[in-house]
């Protein structure tokens, strides 16, 4: 599914349909689209010549997705970004358990990688965002 979304974004980007696109999809599809450390979505932004904001919706079927075009301002108003140093309280229902990976937290549609914590973690945790851009976010346990 991530491949289909990426191809659609490349085509729509080449057609100069919009300066930015938000993609809303199932969390596992989003993780695949973003790629390790955000490299896949970074490359896709270059290929599509557009800004891409990937957001998850855990209620969305893995074979469904939405692509929303707009200006950067329009997209960021509808799909806000998290700023570095922002603190987040994550509850166990926010955790995505990805076997063999670190903890991934879903916060308001944003997927946040927490490399210092295993994917098996199941207790609430306070996090501090250490890296963030449009689609890829990383956080550490707040001290």
Q: What is the pTM of this model?
A: 0.95
Last residue within a domain, chosen from 78, 99, 125? 78
Q: What is the 3-state secondary structure (H, E, C) of 31-46?
A: HHHHCHHHHHHHHHHH
**pLDDT tens for residues 101-140?**
899 999 999 999 999 999 999 999 999 999 999 999 999 9
Over 80: is that where the pLDDT of 143 sits?
A: no
**pLDDT tens for residues 29-74?**
999 999 999 999 999 999 999 999 999 999 999 999 999 999 999 9
Residue range of the domain that includes 104: 87-141
Strands 20-25 and 51-56, by their bridges, are parallel
**Angle ∠(138,76,74) on CA atoms, nearest 5:** 160
Q: Are both 10 and 44 inside the same structural domain?
A: yes
Q: Are both 30 and 97 inside the same structural domain?
A: no
Q: Are both 74 and 6 inside the same structural domain?
A: yes
**pLDDT tens for residues 9-21?**
999 999 999 999 9
| Beta bridge partner(s), residue 46 | none
CATH of the domain at 71: 3.40.1260.20
């Amino acid at each position: 599914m991530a491949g289909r979304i990426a191809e659609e974004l490349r085509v729509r980007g080449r057609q100069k349909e919009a300066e930015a696109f938000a993609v809303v999809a199932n969390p596992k599809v989003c993780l695949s689209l973003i790629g390790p450390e955000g490299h896949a979505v970074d490359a896709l932004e270059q290929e599509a010549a557009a800004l891409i904001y990937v957001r998850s919706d855990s209620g969305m079927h893995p074979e469904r997705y939405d692509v929303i075009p707009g200006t950067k301002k329009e997209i960021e108003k509808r799909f806000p970004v998290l700023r570095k140093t922002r603190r987040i309280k994550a509850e166990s229902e926010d955790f995505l358990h990805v076997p063999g990976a670190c903890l991934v937290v879903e916060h308001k549609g944003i997927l946040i990688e927490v490399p210092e914590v295993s994917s098996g973690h199941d207790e609430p945790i306070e996090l501090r965002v250490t890296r963030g851009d449009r689609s890829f976010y990383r956080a550490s346990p707040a001290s």
